[in-house]
Structure 1
Amino acid sequence: MRILMLEGFDRGNFSTRWRTYCVGEYLRQHGHQVRYYHLLLNVDEAPVLRGLPAVVQQAALRLIAAVRAVLARRWCRWAGRVIVLNVYSSRWLTRYLNRRCGGYVYDTVDFADTEDFIRLHCAPGWRGMPQRLKMRMNYRTFLAYVDNARIVCTNNFHCIEQAGRRGRKTHLFIDPIPNEYLKPLPQREPGAPFILGWTGSFATTRYLEEYIDVLTFFTRGRGVRLELMEGEPRFAAKANATVVPWTVDNFKQHLPHWSVGIAPLPSSVPFTGKFPGKILQYMAAGIPSIVTPKGMATHFITHGETGFYANTADEWIGFIHHFIEHPEDVVRMGRNARADFEARFSLEAQMPAYEHALSLNDTGGA
């Protein structure tokens, strides 16, 4: 089948790599013709914008996205199946795609809990008003893509519930990391330093702020190292942590050497639809996790077998202590986590059901 992957991801986003490129490569290897079409460009892809003020760059990129949405119709006519990935712009495009034979698949990873993200990421009062307005407008566009899709494919239960209430067929598709992308250590060296690790972004480092006392309890004078992949430097300095720049090589090399991966979330926000992809990455790397049990986090960890759920500061301290004092549990739970990843969440485990749900093996559009 001819498949068009029409996507609006930031190309640096973790989900981009799994849901777009890894899925696309798998489909190619299984006989499909796959074409990627990026609605959104970044400044590096539009060099004429370099050096211009940021507000001008953003306005120009939005205009380019609108033009590219119009031009996308050519490739939509070529495709037997269109998969729209995380697009929240050009609402008119939903109606055009819906009129096509077979409609389109909407694959989305965000906006299941917009108000939670507004509370965390938007400044209060009038200073945060433009960003709040933009996020709520994006949410309305998100709902238009949901309402016109033949099936909604997503990585979180809350979004599935939203789509189901609106009468849409749904398919749960966890970000699919290939088995070979991250390789666990064959064995851990005796006497190796105990390393707590966290993957995220500059913006999501704020999720750690509530836990600064827990982290510094271990990083100051107790021999524990803390590595933040893409963390915010000022927070890292306060936590006595090391910031590791995100590159593919750093990602593949550092994660398997961590002792435990952490995924804390602020206690003040429900995070009903939060998908903590970092837990999946820790599992793929063969390391156990300590996790705040919110949103999709409760779908990943088996408490005491592949990691621990922690709600309070005392629980966080207790579980970190447990791993320090019981290195055999670091190994045992890490192996269990990797086995669970391979069985439930890897690209190879999920793709047969994905192809079936999206009817990608139909003869039409070949």
Structure 2
Amino acid sequence: MKMLALMKYGDKAASTRQRLLQYVPYFSRSGIEVSYSSLLSNDYLERTFQGQSAPVLSIVTAYLSRAALLLRASQFDLIWVHYECFPYMPGFFERLAELSGKPIVYDFDDAIFHQYDSHPRAVVRRFLGLKLQPLLNAASLCVCGNAYLASYAERFCRRAEIIPTVVDTTVYFPKNPASTAARPLVVGWIGSPSTWRFVLPIVPLLSRLSQELNLKIRVIGAGPQDTVPPNFEFLGWSEEAEVEMIQGMDVGIMPLPDEPWARGKCGYKLIQYMACGIPVVASPVGVNADIVDHGLNGFLASQEDEWDLSLRRLLADSGLIREMGVRGREKVMEKYSLQAYGPRLAALLCDVAGKPLS
């Protein structure tokens, strides 16, 4: 069985790796041959991270290339669409995916519909607020990263399945802890320049704690900063070093505001931390409250005083750090691992395409 996967970004994007590429070995074992095409290149993504704009001609060319690819898509048995085919274009352009006459699987792990229905400009809300509806109506299956996304998909799609964003637990694993007696404890965060804003409200708290408790605050992937507070280290993200940088943390954090876009997040950084045996402190927003068992594998914190208390409690007790880390790892292996979901997703695709599992 041949599947065409239409991704928004190339393999530098976490969503491309998490939602498709890491599953390819499981697909192959089930007889699914994947050809994937990204709309926007890695160069586009790099420019975005650096606050630069891509040349308009390159974007126009990318849209035309995707349209041409969809016109040739009948050679495939299944079409996989991640996010959307044509961002910021009217919904009827999404219907090009139907021309192949083959089953469509729609996949998303962010509340991208809020880019349109909650846009600050009324003209965008009016003309693009329901732009995903034609694509969801046409899809035989919608693969959703969490229940919040599934509740939206079910309005338009005949079948929605929750497949959380998961990690390969043979890649993400606990590192034998070195003695903390001779080094500062490390509180860490991993993300992107666009999500670093979620951390900014607690930076003053982290700064105070870092000086009072002799902590290091590790920030991965936030991009260049004009000023760096004392005891903060800002590290550039790389796929090769990602796991090692996370393993060097003692506590992982995920603050989020309680707003529609954040409720659609899939808690991936929490799963990364916990897979590496690291306890977490997170805002109880969206799926975070499902991933974190308060008091067992981490803490949920809303207000600044709750963040302060939770971090202090963990950082004062190395035994608690270890115990919560073990419980977190166990939960990820059971409920958020590639090993658990790889065979399930492959079986769903074969079912939709009407093909037997190999």
Please, what TM-score do these two structures have when normalized by structure 1?
0.84
Task: Name the residue aligned to 1:230.
Answer: 221
Alignment pair present for 1:178 and 2:175: no
How far apart in 2 are the matches of 1:189 and 1:174?
34
Matches within 5 A, 1:236-247: 237-238=228-229, 240-247=231-238
Alignment pair present for 1:363 and 2:349: no
Relative to structure 1, the CA distance from residue 111 to residue 58 in structure 2 (aligned partners, 3 Å threshold; closer, same or farther) is: farther
| Count of matched residue positions in the alignment of Structure 1 and Structure 2 | 348
SS in 2 for 1:220: helix
Relative to structure 1, the CA distance from residue 168 to residue 261 in structure 2 (aligned partners, 3 Å threshold; closer, same or farther) is: same
Coordinate RMSD, CA, aligned: 3.1
Relative to structure 1, the CA distance from residue 365 to residue 328 in structure 2 (aligned partners, 3 Å threshold; closer, same or farther) is: closer
Relative to structure 1, the CA distance from residue 252 to residue 365 in structure 2 (aligned partners, 3 Å threshold; closer, same or farther) is: closer
Deviation for aligned residue 1:193: 2.6
**Cα-to-partner distance string for 1:113-133 (whole Å, 9 max, x where unaligned):** 6269968xxxxxxxx75xx86
Task: Name the residue aligned to 1:12.
Answer: 12
How far apart in 2 are the matches of 1:344 and 1:84?
25
Task: Name the residue aligned to 1:207.
Answer: 198
Once structures 1 and 2 are overlaid, which stretch shifts more, 142-151 or 153-162? 142-151
Task: Name the residue aligned to 1:323.
Answer: 314
Deviation for aligned residue 1:164: 1.1
AA paired with 1:71? A
How far apart in 1 are the matches of 2:191 and 2:296?
24
Alignment pair present for 1:60 and 2:52: no
Once structures 1 and 2 are overlaid, which stretch shifts more, 204-213 or 138-147? 138-147
User: Which structure 1 residue ranges, 5 or more long, are not aligned?
Assistant: 120-127
How far apart in 2 are the matches of 1:40 and 1:276?
24
How far apart in 2 are the matches of 1:23 and 1:327?
36
Deviation for aligned residue 1:135: 8.3
SS in 2 for 1:271: helix
**Cα-to-partner distance string for 1:65-119 (whole Å, 9 max, x where unaligned):** 2212222136521211111112251644543433544420001122356269968
Deviation for aligned residue 1:43: 3.9
Please, what TM-score do these two structures have when normalized by structure 2?
0.86
Relative to structure 1, the CA distance from residue 5 to residue 197 in structure 2 (aligned partners, 3 Å threshold; closer, same or farther) is: same
How far apart in 2 are the matches of 1:207 and 1:311?
13
User: Which structure 2 residue ranges, 5 or more long, are not aligned?
Assistant: none
How far apart in 2 are the matches of 1:67 and 1:138?
20
Alignment pair present for 1:39 and 2:43: no
Alignment pair present for 1:76 and 2:67: no
AA paired with 2:325? G
Relative to structure 1, the CA distance from residue 328 to residue 242 in structure 2 (aligned partners, 3 Å threshold; closer, same or farther) is: same
Matches within 5 A, 1:125-204: 140-191=130-181, 192-204=183-195
How far apart in 1 are the matches of 2:224 and 2:42?
24
AA paired with 2:247? P
Relative to structure 1, the CA distance from residue 170 to residue 268 in structure 2 (aligned partners, 3 Å threshold; closer, same or farther) is: closer
How far apart in 2 are the matches of 1:10 and 1:275?
20
Conservation of the 8 A alpha-carbon contact between 1:156 and 1:275: yes
Task: Name the residue aligned to 1:250.
Answer: 241
**Cα-to-partner distance string for 1:195-228 (whole Å, 9 max, x where unaligned):** 0000111122111121123211211242111011
How far apart in 1 are the matches of 2:354 and 2:180?
53
Relative to structure 1, the CA distance from residue 151 to residue 60 in structure 2 (aligned partners, 3 Å threshold; closer, same or farther) is: same
Deviation for aligned residue 1:134: 6.2
**Cα-to-partner distance string for 1:159-201 (whole Å, 9 max, x where unaligned):** 2111112243101111132122222113443424310000111
AA paired with 1:150? S
Deviation for aligned residue 1:44: 7.0
AA paired with 1:214? L
How far apart in 2 are the matches of 1:42 and 1:232?
16
SS in 2 for 1:161: helix
How far apart in 2 are the matches of 1:116 and 1:258?
37
Relative to structure 1, the CA distance from residue 16 to residue 179 in structure 2 (aligned partners, 3 Å threshold; closer, same or farther) is: same
Task: Name the residue aligned to 1:124.
Answer: none
Matches within 5 A, 1:347-362: 347-360=338-351, 362=354
Conservation of the 8 A alpha-carbon contact between 1:306 and 1:334: yes
Conservation of the 8 A alpha-carbon contact between 1:8 and 1:38: yes
